């Protein structure tokens, strides 16, 4: 429960009595213990002893470059190491099928003499056909 200090309340007012209608409710409530005329606080602007308004220093812009920025001539990037295509070969994992794969890769290389092989990758994995069977998969990047 709040402790109500009734020592500052005026003795002639009843705190439980309703507020009378003849009082102006929009009027600010005066402070009883502070007299604003005797506080000694100045509300005038503070002066620091300078003379008048101070302007901020102006910053000069850097001089513009008069010569145009030279562009480096761009060379076309042509690399013989570039990969331009790929071909994938795969077959089942038994000796007859692997011999056939060797012949198939050799025939493809002979039919394409301009192909320069850049990279190859060999892996095994399941390939789905009528049945899912393990296969060897060779990818040739050229």
- 114 found inside a domain: yes
Distance CA 67, CA 32 (A): 77
Structural domain boundaries, residue 104: 86-141
Domain count, the chain: 1
- 100 found inside a domain: yes
Strand partners, 43: none
For residue 10, what pLDDT is reported? 55
- 1 found inside a domain: no
Token couple for 120: 């190859």
pLDDT tens per residue, the chain (142 residues)? 555 555 555 556 677 777 666 666 677 766 665 555 566 676 677 666 666 666 666 777 766 666 666 777 766 655 567 888 999 999 999 999 999 999 999 999 999 998 889 999 999 999 888 899 999 999 999 8
Q: For CA atoms 126, 132, 136, 139, give the dihedral sign.
A: negative
What residues have CB less than 8 Å from 2, skipping those under 6 apart? none
Instruction: Return the ∠ at Cα 96 (arms to 93 and 101), rounded to 5°.
Output: 75
- 40 found inside a domain: no
């Amino acid at each position: 429960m709040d402790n109500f200090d009734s020592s500052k309340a005026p003795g002639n007012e009843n705190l439980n009595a309703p507020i009378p209608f003849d009082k102006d409710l929009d009027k600010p409530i005066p402070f009883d213990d502070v007299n604003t005329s005797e506080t000694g606080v100045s509300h005038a602007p503070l002066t620091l002893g300078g003379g008048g308004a101070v302007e901020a220093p102006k910053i000069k812009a850097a001089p513009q470059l008069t010569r145009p920025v030279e562009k480096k001539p761009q060379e076309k990037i042509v690399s013989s190491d570039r990969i331009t295509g790929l071909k994938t070969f795969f077959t089942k994992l038994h000796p007859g099928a692997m011999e056939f794969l060797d012949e198939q890769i050799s025939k493809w290389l002979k039919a394409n003499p301009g192909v320069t092989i850049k990279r190859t990758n060999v892996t095994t994995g399941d390939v789905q056909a009528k049945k899912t069977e393990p296969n060897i998969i060779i990818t040739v990047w050229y």
